[in-house]
Structure 1
């Protein structure tokens, strides 16, 4: 009798009700991150309110398609992990620069042409880029995962203050109290609830936080009143793509940054869901990012990239099924096709998102610390790698204007603490563990050799580090 092999939690399907509610949690966690880039870019290049709303809907739609491609996969495309794709914020500054240098009415066509070329280039480079995975031992991945969480925490803090620094109530006591109340609600729910209700504690916390915001006047229903029932992102709504060399170079650099961040995110998620990512998985994930980026401009979207905040949601809920995130992708597609539904999600006030975000993003940082425990931090070289990576990576987080006087093209990389920290960690790991050969100092003749160093099979974190060198 042949016994059926157990299904890995990543590939396990859930009942429709659980799929929907867990998927909604992912949408709530990523919604602000998806609509923020088109909002900033649209306002920066002088689009009308109607056109900005169209851009936001298109971004939701294309983010949903990219997420479905990433989670369900087609052939060698898609990591098939609970991996959310959205609009990369790394491209905002370059896109604004492209828009300002373009002729009137040609900003978006120039941006879209550059994104298409960058996406195609990323797709071609994916099988070569993934070979860098051997340079990501626990000392590197732990540093990067920690930086992902630390880099996201200021976003949650900004949300808790109100999200818009120009608003009259930004950083008001009422905003911070609402964020604190949401945080407490989420923590209490996680402590008291069990089973499925505990897994959707974030979603329940967002709903209760929004209800608390109603008497405070923090919930804006204007978006619902002015939203259309049905809307489809017409292909090339803003004109045919234009291919300008300078714009293409800028967006190709952004694509490399996104590939670096996606590699770190895939490695982090693989550890969290207990399915460590190999080269093939990373290549498939990068292909999905790149293909999503190349196709998004056709439907008026922007460059697709991994959303680290959803990794925190997977870690805290322990719902590892990729079909849950696929459900989130389907919901995003519906939101893009139905602006009224999208505006309902937008009802969640920024302070409420901030309170929940502190838990989500803090969980990512904690996962990084957990990964670092697998590295041999008694090795002074490993300790130095962690110190330098965190120190350099935290610079743009604590001082947003630190690189303001640098070349704009360099700032694409430097302004991302995740990217700079990752590059520093990889470079130092190469220098200390892959370059040259080190021979241990000879022990004094009368030294007593402990049993632990008697030749034999090595296990545990030290062995993992030794194998990574």
Structure 2
């Protein structure tokens, strides 16, 4: 990174002009929007909600994601990493939430919300001990995890490029993939041709261009915009007061530990990208924001909050490192949660268009991991072996999605996340080979 003038603030603490702040913040929202609304889109119908209540859940998720992002970026006291760190709804909790609330309607949601509330509070209490793991994340571990984050996200962009689950028979059509490819070409062309601020928002401009081109092709659905209400507040306990069931609480506590592991890895990755390495105290403050945000989300009918890795790629690509830009994105999310019409405008972006841009964003994360591994001294000791095995295990859910189908259902919360399993394997192998003395010293000659 270039040297800063004496007395100049760190790029993380810079405040760009309002127009740039809003445009860059909107770009973060566009990158994460589909990830925020996907869990409620799955959980809502699974528990038996109708379209209107599912839309309410989506608005609540946007609102709580915005609050969690503001808490993470701006911070309150000893809470918040104060990095350009985006928080949203964790997809790791979708499977157990569906299992908890299947076909139980509002009652199932109250049990889910009760379990998330307890898991968030427990995670908050565990943060001081969990954050001490940071010393066990050297470059050989962080580089592996960052690479896995990018590689694990790429299948998401490929699914979007095919049209997503809602595409039905059109999934994987030439039209969808062609639109994704066209969007990718537009983003690359804009990055190469533009300079300055316009180059920094090339992804946003590419999304706008792709959406406009998709309208005459009939790929943009305007029904949600027509049916949306102008104002809608996520009323606290809209579906009823939380209910507490032991089995549900245990399941969501496991998800909370998975989210804390992924958030730790994401903070370390982001620290490298923005040239502000994360120490134990930063990790502690960040995890407090994650867990407190998760505990508060059920009050407004939201789900568990966690880091969004895809936005790390956006920070790396645009080189806009200001946390206030991401805070602006958090504020936009809050507004979207309070204004269904505005949320519907963002939702106009077709998934194939998002998929084309996602290739750039997620690939950039993987490239950052490779760059970190380049400085991980792979020629020393068993570091290369650590990376090889951790990457191999972490790729299992991607290349063989049914590999763990015979395992207990609760174990799939961890095993189905390549980021979590790869992170755990890298940590354990690093401990075994670089921290624990268990091999005999060579005999004297």
- Please give the TM-score of this superposition, normalised by the length of structure 1: 0.92
Contact 2:47 2:98 in 1 (8 A): yes
> 2:342 & 2:255 partners in 1: Cα distance?
31
Contact 2:12 2:323 in 1 (8 A): yes
Contact 2:61 2:303 in 1 (8 A): yes
The aligned counterpart of 2:222 is 221
> 2:180 & 2:444 partners in 1: Cα distance?
58
- 1:293-319 CA distances to partner (integer Å, 9 max, x unpaired)? 000000000000000000000000000
- The correspondence of residues 54-453 of structure 1 with structure 2, limited to 5 A, is 54-100=56-102, 105-164=106-165, 167-436=168-437
TM-superposed deviation, 1:196:
0.3
> 1:20 & 1:52 partners in 2: Cα distance?
29
- Secondary structure in 1 aligned to 2:235? coil
The aligned counterpart of 1:467 is none
Aligned residues: 441
Unaligned residue ranges in structure 1 (runs of 5+): 445-469
- 1:192-245 CA distances to partner (integer Å, 9 max, x unpaired)? 111000000000000001111111110000010000000000000000000110
> 2:37 & 2:401 partners in 1: Cα distance?
21
TM-superposed deviation, 1:105:
3.7
The aligned counterpart of 1:460 is none
Q: 1:24 aligns with which of 17, 20, 26?
A: 26
Contact 2:36 2:88 in 1 (8 A): yes
- Secondary structure in 2 aligned to 1:168? helix
> 2:271 & 2:439 partners in 1: Cα distance?
32
Q: 1:44 aligns with which of 22, 43, 46?
A: 46
TM-superposed deviation, 1:104:
5.3
> 1:424 & 1:127 partners in 2: Cα distance?
23
Q: Quick one: structure 1 residues 104 and 35, their matched pair in 2 at CA, closer, same or farther if it must change by over 3 Å?
A: closer
TM-superposed deviation, 1:439:
7.9
Runs of 4 or more, structure 1, over 2 Å off, are 102-105, 437-444
> 2:417 & 2:226 partners in 1: Cα distance?
37
- 1:165-206 CA distances to partner (integer Å, 9 max, x unpaired)? 651211111111100000000001101111000000000000
Contact 2:49 2:106 in 1 (8 A): no
> 1:165 & 1:36 partners in 2: Cα distance?
11
TM-superposed deviation, 1:379:
2.2
Q: Quick one: structure 1 residues 117 and 355, their matched pair in 2 at CA, closer, same or farther if it must change by over 3 Å?
A: same
TM-superposed deviation, 1:441:
5.6
- 1:355-400 CA distances to partner (integer Å, 9 max, x unpaired)? 0000000000000000001111112500000000100000001122
> 1:364 & 1:105 partners in 2: Cα distance?
38
- 1:435-465 CA distances to partner (integer Å, 9 max, x unpaired)? 1166876998xxxxxxxxxxxxxxxxxxxxx
TM-superposed deviation, 1:401:
1.8
> 2:444 & 2:313 partners in 1: Cα distance?
46
Which structure's CA Rg is the greater one? 1
> 2:234 & 2:423 partners in 1: Cα distance?
36
TM-superposed deviation, 1:409:
1.1
The aligned counterpart of 1:461 is none
> 1:179 & 1:385 partners in 2: Cα distance?
36
TM-superposed deviation, 1:261:
0.1
> 1:73 & 1:234 partners in 2: Cα distance?
25
- 1:140-164 CA distances to partner (integer Å, 9 max, x unpaired)? 0000000000000000000000012
Cα RMSD of the aligned pairs, angstroms, is 1.4
> 1:372 & 1:43 partners in 2: Cα distance?
42
> 1:104 & 1:183 partners in 2: Cα distance?
40
